[in-house]
Chains A and B, each alone.
Chain A
Amino acid sequence: MSALPAALDLAVRHRLRWWEALPWAAGLAVFFLFPNYLAFGTQVLVTILFALSLDLVLGYAGIVTLGHAAFFGAGAYTVGMLAAHWGWTEPLSGLVAAALVAGAVGLVSGWVVLRTHGLTLLMLTLCTMALLEQAANMFSGLTGGFDGMPGLSFKAILGLFEFDVLYFRSQYLYVLAVLFLCFVLVRLLVYSPFGRSLTGIRENLLRMHAVGAPVRARQVLAYAISAALAGVAGAVFVQATGYVNLAVLGLERAAGVLIILILGGYGRLYGAFVGAIVYMVLEHTLSKAYPTAWQLGLGLTLMLVALYARNGVLGLGEALRRRWSAR
């Protein structure tokens, strides 16, 4: 590609395109078309938000983490403990509190673990998550220990919309709205100069140091913002389902969200959407009936993706489109 089209591409890539309205239209359409599947739909939306938060660190800042569920769990437990022990059940302020706590955890742990790289960094992200998991297990007076805190209830959203325990109608729209706001924030971020410098750090660390970019500060900040968003995802998960337990913090959830983002395609904003929908629908239909075969298939898919399809479903689509237009 010559310099001019590349510059043109950079100048217009942040503009909204018509198809970017489609996911949101589809999200609303599901609400009206499949009223019996809204509980599942809410789970998918939460997962999209979680994967989107991971995309910011993994896809844009290029930090490989195995412990992203730490922040999902931090947000989830914040909302859960506020509701169970202090009667703080107002949902929107709960989200803010969860974002602040998870963001603070991300800031502190990012400041510590981002000094390292490679295997050590990977291990330390895992360590941070395991540390929180063990803490949640140990301080069972606060967190409910292994059983967690079931049967939490929250006040109506904005004082208007009661949480709908049976059909998840208000939860679905609530999570969709939260996801939309967070998506707008992430989209603004990745196309801002800050986002460009993250991509620069991912692509060429040495050069970014050489041009004087504050590499570590940017990485830590991206890590903290991503943590806060993951905390929001954990918080809406707890508000929608009304329970929290140790599963929000486990390696299974962390590996799952990584797989979702990779399957969808990382560093592309919409990869989180595609990956979460594909993965959750497959899991919903297959994993209960054939858990072992599901794991085998998932493992084989991951190996194949790593070997042949490094950019996920969206990357495959782009490759096909390029081949098509090259003809």
Chain B
Amino acid sequence: MDLASILLGGLAAGMVLFIVSVGLSVTMGLMGFVNLAHGGFAMLGGYAVVLAMRHWGLPFSAALALGFAAVAALSVLLERTLYARLYRASELDQVLFTIGLVFVMIALVTLTVGPESQRVVLPAWLDGQTDLGFLKYRTYSLALIAAGSLLMLALWLGFERTRIGARIRAAVDNRRMAESVGVDVGRLFTVTFALGSGLAAVGGGLGAEILGLDPQYPLRYLAYFLIVVAVGGLGKVTGVFFAALLIGVLDFTLKIYFPKGGTMFIYALTLAFLLARPQGIFGKRGA
């Protein structure tokens, strides 16, 4: 493979990582809640997309929208009834609770759908190759890159140019101060949690083609999502974007050249990187 195709493939994988992980980064930054079940929401989204297309014959884009809405609604329910009880609990309790939630999600999916892996049937206009002039490449990967970039732009505008974005940034930087000037951080958190989980669901649906989709998904990619968030910095959309792209490209490249132990280098690089910059790419010290 030539350099351009490797780069494009890596970017497409990175975009999926970004779409899934960005919500985790923001909710971690807001509440400091260790949500290891985030990948579970991505998996549920993927299943919603696959099942809606198979049983109701929905088109791909409508199924993605449905997955977003369903998972966002479910996450609000879980956040209000269960997560909210653990905001002041220790990190260990949050870890246990969310690991337990992952197990429950895996078991329920296995019971209702089955343990085999699922395939997303892509619509005709996304399947096939597109001629970019200098090379032909898979249309779907190009569409992923476009979708991820658009999402990044939208999130950046939302974060930097809207009132609610300003509130989120304020609450990430200094929660107490934000509360004392009248920001309802609790409600803000519910909204961002829903949005983040919904985006994870979209990422699960979009990325099923690349990452696969089966009940073990949330555990298999747990380390990846956490790496992206830690390298990108908590509550930093731009940081997560670049971290996801970097890791997507590195992972894709290394897996081509060292098929057997490619992921080993990702872990080693992450350790080395966080040793030098424990606060992430753009993170501030002590954040």
B-binding residues in A (CB < 8 A)? 58, 64, 66, 112-113, 115-116, 118-120, 122-124, 126-128, 130-131, 134-135, 137-138, 140, 251, 255, 258-259, 262, 292-293, 295-296, 298-307, 310
Q: Smallest CB-CB separation from A297: which chain B residue?
A: B107
Encode contact with A along B70-85: 1 for CB under 8 Å, 0 otherwise.
0000000000001001
A64 touches which of B92, B102, B227 (Cβ 8 Å): B92
A310 in complex: contacting residue of B93, B234, B264, B274, CB < 8 Å: B93
Q: Are B226 and A296 interface neighbours, CB within 8 A?
A: no
Is A64 a contact partner of B108 (Cβ separation < 8 A)? no
Is B229 in the interface zone, CB < 8 Å from A?
A: yes
Cα distance, A21 to B99, chains bound together (Å)? 35
Nearest chain B CB to A65 CB, angstrom units: 10
Given A64-B92, A296-B107, A299-B107, verify A128-B100 contact (CB < 8 Å). no
Q: Which residues of B contact A298 (CB under 8 A)?
A: 100, 103
6 closest A-B pairs by beta carbon, nearest first, are: A302-B100, A299-B103, A138-B261, A134-B264, A296-B107, A306-B97
Contact assessment for B100 and A127 in the assembled complex, using a CB-CB cutoff below 8 Å: no
**Could you name 23 residue pairs across A and B whose Cβ atoms are closer than 8 Å?**
A118-B34, A119-B229, A119-B234, A122-B34, A123-B230, A126-B226, A127-B223, A128-B267, A131-B264, A138-B260, A292-B107, A292-B111, A295-B106, A298-B100, A299-B100, A299-B102, A303-B96, A303-B97, A303-B100, A306-B97, A307-B86, A310-B89, A310-B93
Is B177 part of the binding interface, using a Cβ–Cβ cutoff of 8 Å? Answer: no
Which residue on chain A has the smallest CB distance to residue B96? A306
User: Who on chain A is nearest to B111 by CB?
Assistant: A292
The chain A residue with its CB closest to the CB of B265 is: A134
Q: Which of B32-59 contact A (CB under 8 A)?
A: 32, 34
Asked if A306 meets B227 with Cβ closer than 8 Å, knowing A134-B267, A298-B103, A299-B102, the reply is no
CB A56 to nearest CB in B, in angstroms, measures 15
Q: Which residues of B contact A304 (CB under 8 A)?
A: 100
Q: With an 8 A cutoff between CB atoms, is B127 at the interface?
A: no
A300 and B261 contacting across the interface, CB-CB below 8 Å: no
Closest Cβ of chain A: how far from B104's Cβ, in Å? Answer: 4
Contact residue among B85, B219, B226 (Cβ-Cβ distance under 8 Å from A307) = B85
CA distance A113 to B273 in the complex (A): 11
Minimum CB–CB distance for B217 against chain A, Å: 13
Interface size on B, residues (CB 8 A): 46
In the bound complex, do residue A300 and residue B226 qualify as a contact, i.e. CB atoms below 8 Å apart?
A: no
Complex CA–CA separation, A124 to B99 (angstroms): 17
A301 to chain B: closest residue by CB: B100
Interface positions of B (Cβ within 8 A of A): 28, 32, 34, 82, 85-86, 89, 91-97, 99-108, 110-111, 219, 222-223, 226-227, 229-230, 234, 258, 260-261, 263-264, 267-268, 270-271, 274-275, 278
Q: Are A130 and B96 in contact (CB under 8 A)?
A: no
> What chain B residues lie within 8 Å of A299 (beta carbons)?
99-107
A119 adjacent to B92 (CB under 8 Å): no
> Are A306 and B86 closer than 8 Å at their CB atoms?
yes
Distance, CA A213 to CA B190, complexed state (A) = 40
Among A115, A126, A251, A292, contact of B275 (Cβ-Cβ < 8 Å): A115
Residues on the A chain within 8 Å of B105, using CB: 299
What residues on A are CB-neighbors of B229 within 8 Å?
119, 123
Q: How far is the CA of A95 from the CA of B274 in the complex (A)?
A: 33
* Cβ A296 vs Cβ B111 within 8 A: yes
Given contacts A119-B226, A130-B223, 19 further A-B contacts (CB under 8 A): A123-B226, A123-B227, A124-B271, A137-B260, A251-B222, A258-B99, A259-B99, A262-B92, A262-B96, A292-B110, A295-B103, A296-B104, A298-B103, A303-B100, A303-B101, A305-B96, A305-B100, A306-B89, A306-B93
- The minimal Cβ–Cβ distance linking A309 to chain B, given in whole angstroms, is 11
In contact, B99 and A296 (Cβ under 8 angstroms): no
With a cutoff of 8 Å between Cβ atoms, the chain A residues found around residue B222 in the complex are: 126, 251
Q: Which chain B positions have C-beta within 8 A of A138?
A: 258, 260-261, 264
Contacting pair B91 A116 (CB below 8 A)? no
Give the complex CA separation of A134 and B261 in angstroms: 6
Asked whether A122 and B103 contact (CB < 8 A) given A127-B227, A131-B271, A292-B111, the answer is no
Contact residues in A for B230 (Cβ distance below 8 Å): 119-120, 123-124
Residues of A within 8 A of B227 (CB): 123, 127
